Amino acid sequence: MSKKKIIIGLILLAYAVIPVTSPENIVHLMTITGIWIIIASGLNLLTGYMGYVSFGHAGFVGIGAYASALLTMRLGLSFWSGALLASLITALFGLLIGLAILRLSGTYFSIGTLILGEILYSLYYNWSPVTGGFMGLNVPGVIFNIPGIIHFEFELIHWYYFVYILVFLIAGGLKLLVESHFGKELIAIRENESLSESLGVNVNLRKSQCLALTCFLAGLGGALLAHFMRHVDPASFAIAASTEFLTIVIIGGLASLVGPFFGAYVLITLSLYLEILGKWRMVVYGLIIVSIMIYARGGIAGILEKLFKTEFRK
């Protein structure tokens, strides 16, 4: 067994042990962080690998959250089919909107997604009959049911294991994807779009596939968030939330598979410890983003690369 496998095994073991040994609030935080990692991994694909910086990602997460909440509440679907369907709806939305916004590039794409995020937020906030307006919706919990064999309601510990199994499945999937031809083509698009087109990369197809995948993960994250928190409200999908997802990806290190993990844990730790600062929290938070941009643009993965001389980023 190689050294790498042992390390991965140890990490998985640590994740398995955490909920048993830690207090409940930590497990709760870890679960939320896990959902963030799912969303941020998707964003990383778009922003890190393909180089399209999205400023309105929370809007997509919102689609997943509201879609799954409404599907389960209004149509009486189970959480499982509701969440899957919601993710697919978000991906479909990404495909459609991608026809328009993927024609933009660079700064224009960022501003386009910023506007899109504002539109979606304003929709969640104002379309009260469907989204419940600023009060939001109360979402039913999740029941795990195989008829005749097992029946229980999801509690914190089930959520924890469920979310982290998904996290590692997705991380594994993304690793395969990034190392495949597809990933290399995305990187080619990031480096030089017209050159990769002339080298035979189907740029438009790859771009929409990438956006759809990103949106699928955002939708999945949104659905999980809605059912785990048992509540959706528009404030969770404002521009501030989009910034948070982007910050996770950037702090962690763009185009790095482990980046979203680092980013999400650093952010959650920061927000915990910055709680002492009270009102100053967001000020410090903003300044941290600025200083990362000035001094450490590779994020944490970039710093670790320098320290250990191994490659975390592509």
Partner 1 sequence: MLTGVSYVLIALGLTLIFGVYRMINLAHGAVYMWGAYFCHVFSDSLGFNTYLATLIAMILAGFLSVGLEKTVFRPLKNNPDWVALVAGLGLYYALENFGWIVLGPRELHIHALATQKVIRFWGMYANLQKLILAGLCVVILVAMSIILKKTGVGRAMRAASSDQEAAKLVGININRISMLVFFLGGAFAAAAGSFVGSLTSVAPGMGFRPMIIAFVIVVFGGMGSIMGTVVTGLLVGVLQNILAYVIAPKFAYCFTMLSLLAVFVMRPKGLFGEDT
Tell me which residues touch partner 1 (CB under 8 A): 53, 55, 100-101, 103-104, 106-108, 110-112, 114-116, 118-119, 122-123, 126, 239-240, 243, 246-247, 250, 279-290, 293-294, 297
Q: How far is the CB of 30 from partner 1 (least distance, A)?
A: 25
Q: How far is the CB of 250 from partner 1 (least distance, A)?
A: 6
Q: How far is the CB of 39 from partner 1 (least distance, A)?
A: 17
With a CB cutoff of 8 Å and minimum separation 6, the contacts of 236 are 58, 61, 62, 65, 225
Of the pair 75, 290, the CB lying nearest partner 1 is at 290
Of the pair 78, 243, the CB lying nearest partner 1 is at 243
With a CB cutoff of 8 Å and minimum separation 6, the contacts of 121 are 58, 59, 62, 234, 237, 238, 239
β-pair type (137-138, 150-153): unpaired
DSSP, res 148: T
Dump the DSSP string for 72-126: HHHS---HHHHHHHHHHHHHHHHHHHHHHHTT--THHHHHHHHHHHHHHHHHHHH
Please count the other Cβ atoms lying within 10 Å of the Cβ belonging to residue 249: 29
DSSP, res 258: S
Of the pair 8, 290, the CB lying nearest partner 1 is at 290
Of the pair 229, 266, the CB lying nearest partner 1 is at 266
Q: How far is the CB of 251 from partner 1 (least distance, A)?
A: 10
With a CB cutoff of 8 Å and minimum separation 6, the contacts of 297 are none
Three-state DSSP state, 180: coil
Q: How far is the CB of 54 from partner 1 (least distance, A)?
A: 10
Of the pair 158, 313, the CB lying nearest partner 1 is at 313
Three-state DSSP state, 313: strand
Q: How far is the CB of 137 from partner 1 (least distance, A)?
A: 18
Question: Which value, to the nearest 10 degrees, does the dihedral of the CA atoms of residues 91, 92, 94, 96 take?
Answer: 170
Of the pair 230, 297, the CB lying nearest partner 1 is at 297
Of the pair 83, 116, the CB lying nearest partner 1 is at 116
